[in-house]
Structure 1
Amino acid sequence: MSQQTEAHDPVFVCGALRSGTTLLRLMIDAHPALSNPGEMDFLFEPPADGDGQVDMALYAHELTFNRVFKSCGLKMIDGLTHREQVREFAEQLNVPGRLLTINIHRHFDRVPAIFGGARFIHLLRDPRDVASSSIGMGWAGNVYHGVDHWIESEKSFDALAAKTPSERIFTLKNEDLIRSPETSLSRLCEFLGVAFDPAMLSYPAYTSYKSPNPKLVEQWRSNLSERDIALIEGKVGSLLADRGYAPSGLAPIAPNSAARFRLRQMNRFGRFKFSIKRNGVWLALASVLSRRLPFKTFRDRVRREITAREAEFLK
């Protein structure tokens, strides 16, 4: 069982999906005094039983479908509570002599109950770019729905910040990281208590990621239509300015019920079309059916096949 104390709790990189968390992970992990094994949202997403208690048997079962969990070699220990198990996972991930950092994309406010001494890196990216990027990943069929997870993540961070001392939080914009990587990383390293190391920018030599390119910042200005921009800004509302991003100047659009229905249908169609392209017709249809039919064995089989496809796609 983990002997880790709060003084040695991990640092969590908190950012919405498509906010640049993977790029920052590569930079952090290249530092000789830091480590980052990647994204681990499964730590804070345990299933609960009818009484609201964590069902550890079901948690262990669900983890067998998690691509990230399966790839990092973590081991479950019988008899532990969820809090104990997650702290045990952190102990297994710990590299002697290196400060452990972990990426998560949601449920940030759940961290302090397990890691009372944790610090947090709040990574931000313009929601208009996040929404556009989400379509390319197949997570949404339009930007109106593509920005939902950004909103969810930021509201979760607000809940975390409300109960966390400000000195434990470091905010970093993806745009600043791309435009001024060494300056941004030097500030981050100061927060982490280590000196900046040029190795943090060496990742292009051994990964598929390229060096930061300022031309890739604010692509929403050229990639999105005025209507799409207005839809995003209407949905994000005051969170846009709260996070330090200037509105476009367009009148925000708040779609009526009929327009929202069309956007929902477009979203479903877009996601299904992407699933067919990625998984093939049979597996795409099976995925839909497995969520609607009460056949656990069939559902588990489909989930395993999709997990395998995801792993193959991301190689």
Structure 2
Amino acid sequence: MNAVRKGLRRRGRLLAQALGPPRRPAAASQQPAPGAARQQSRGETGPGAGPGTGPEGKRERGTQGPGQGKGQDQGRGAEQPEQPKRPAYVAPHAGRLVDSPVFVLSSVRSGSTLLRVLLNSHSKIRAPHEMHLRTVHVQLTRPFTAEAMKGLRLDRKELEHLLWDRVLHAELTHSGKEVIVDKTPANLFVWRRLRDCWPNARYVFLRRHPGAVVSSLVNRRAEPDMAAIHDEVLRYAEAMDEAAGELAGHTVTYERLTADPEAATRDLCAYLGVAWEPGMLEYGEHDHGTFRPQMGDWSEKIKSGRIQAARDGDHYEGLPARLAEIAEGWGYTR
């Protein structure tokens, strides 16, 4: 009977070993169990593994173990000095179809649409609606695209410049005129980019009393935020001073343009190298496209086709000190 019990117990142990997981070899020098190599290749760790350890609790290369401190030789795990990055490729100037475009640099609500239509009424000057060139971009969508363009002596910035130039050339060619003008107010914030694109560009600085610009914005908005409006006008005014300090150009004031449009436009034509034409003052007799938002002024005043006098008033009243200082620097007396 005892022999029978022993036989059953032995058979039970053998059966349990056959059905259970395989035993791991006890010696550390033996090969890891099947699947461990796959686990290591995935960076997985088993129970008990901590920071800096890999599978089976072995410490990975480049991490410090007990007793290892800074300054000690860690062999292949030591950090290698970072290699200096090669400077990004900068493409040379590729040439332009339009060599000397004209940019009106001004704040919003400064009369740039009025100046545009007066210029566009000239037989040799094309001044379309705001073109917003700064929002026209080129994308290099594949990893090898930049290298392919580099082989053509181009980079993304110069590709954008070529595209902008092509837009101006297409519009100028379509109009049959000789001079093209862009009056987008936000160009004030990218004047350096415009200078890089067109080294021979010409600039018209159109100024209006900052207090009058503030009043115009207040009258235009349903719920005007005075602090936000002051900040907006200040950004434009300071950008104007910065650009005027670096760029050569011709200055026009809105006040003179509306009070004596003939004298103002004669001086401007002389700067642009074209003869003055009296028909410029009758801008309502010419086609300037549709007046609509985001393309310039679309008020009834500009749609009237007549040059109207600037509003009177004390434009210094309520004006922050910094804007008042800029106004005085532009020659506006109190």
Which TM-score band (shorter chain)?
Answer: 0.5 to 0.7
Q: Compute the TM-score of the two structures, normalised by the length of structure 2.
A: 0.55
Letter in 1 for 2:312: Q
Letter in 2 for 1:234: A
Q: Is the 8 A contact 2:122 2:277 kept in 1?
A: yes
Task: Return 102-111 or 202-211, whichever deviates more.
Answer: 202-211
**Deviation digits for residues 234-276 of structure 1 (CA, Å, limit 9, x no counterpart):** 24142111111123xxxxxxxxxxxxxxxxxxxxxxxxxxxxx
Evaluate the alpha carbon distance shift between residue 149 and residue 163 of structure 1 in structure 2; reply closer, same or farther with a 3 A threshold.
same
Q: Is the 8 A contact 1:127 1:147 kept in 2?
A: no
Equivalence map 1:1-315=2 (5 Å): 4-5=96-97, 8-40=99-131, 42-45=132-135, 55=139, 81-95=159-173, 96-106=176-186, 107=189, 108-138=191-221, 141-164=224-247, 166=248, 169-205=249-285, 208-214=303-309, 217-221=310-314, 229-247=316-334
Q: Is the 8 A contact 1:19 1:124 kept in 2?
A: yes
1:69 corresponds in structure 2 to none
DSSP-derived class of the 1:212 partner:
coil
Evaluate the alpha carbon distance shift between residue 185 and residue 79 of structure 1 in structure 2; reply closer, same or farther with a 3 A threshold.
closer
Q: Return the alpha-carbon distance in structure 1 between the equivalents of residues 327 and 139 of structure 2.
A: 37
DSSP-derived class of the 2:217 partner:
helix
User: Can you give the 5+ residue segments of structure 2 that lack an aligned partner in the other structure?
Assistant: 1-93, 142-155, 287-301
User: Can you give the 5+ residue segments of structure 1 that lack an aligned partner in the other structure?
Assistant: 48-53, 58-77, 248-315
Q: By how many angstroms is 1:115 displaced?
A: 1.3
Letter in 1 for 2:327: L
Q: By how many angstroms is 1:186 displaced?
A: 0.5
Evaluate the alpha carbon distance shift between residue 29 and residue 104 of structure 1 in structure 2; reply closer, same or farther with a 3 A threshold.
same
Q: Return the alpha-carbon distance in structure 1 between the equivalents of residues 224 and 196 of structure 2.
A: 35
The structure 1 segments of at least 4 consecutive aligned residues displaced by more than 4 Å after TM superposition are 54-57
Evaluate the alpha carbon distance shift between residue 80 and residue 172 of structure 1 in structure 2; reply closer, same or farther with a 3 A threshold.
closer
Q: Return the alpha-carbon distance in structure 1 between the equivalents of residues 134 and 200 of structure 2.
A: 16
| Max Rg structure | 2
Q: Is the 8 A contact 2:258 2:307 kept in 1?
A: yes
Evaluate the alpha carbon distance shift between residue 91 and residue 142 of structure 1 in structure 2; reply closer, same or farther with a 3 A threshold.
same
Evaluate the alpha carbon distance shift between residue 109 and residue 245 of structure 1 in structure 2; reply closer, same or farther with a 3 A threshold.
farther
DSSP-derived class of the 1:17 partner:
coil
Letter in 1 for 2:122: H
Q: Compute the TM-score of the two structures, normalised by the length of structure 1.
A: 0.58
Letter in 2 for 1:213: Q
Q: Is the 8 A contact 2:282 2:305 kept in 1?
A: no
Letter in 2 for 1:136: N
Provide the aligned C-alpha RMSD in A: 2.9
Q: Return the alpha-carbon distance in structure 1 between the equivalents of residues 124 and 162 of structure 2.
A: 26
Q: By how many angstroms is 1:45 displaced?
A: 4.2
Q: By how many angstroms is 1:19 displaced?
A: 0.3
Structure 1 vs Structure 2: percent identity of aligned residues?
Answer: 22
DSSP-derived class of the 1:158 partner:
helix
Evaluate the alpha carbon distance shift between residue 212 and residue 79 of structure 1 in structure 2; reply closer, same or farther with a 3 A threshold.
closer
Number of residue pairs aligned between Structure 1 and Structure 2: 207
Higher helix share: 1
DSSP-derived class of the 2:180 partner:
strand
Q: Return the alpha-carbon distance in structure 2 between the equivalents of residues 193 and 56 of structure 1.
A: 40
Q: Return the alpha-carbon distance in structure 2 between the equivalents of residues 44 and 145 of structure 1.
A: 23
Q: Is the 8 A contact 2:111 2:254 kept in 1?
A: yes
Q: Is the 8 A contact 1:9 1:118 kept in 2?
A: yes
Q: By how many angstroms is 1:5 displaced?
A: 4.7
Evaluate the alpha carbon distance shift between residue 209 and residue 150 of structure 1 in structure 2; reply closer, same or farther with a 3 A threshold.
farther
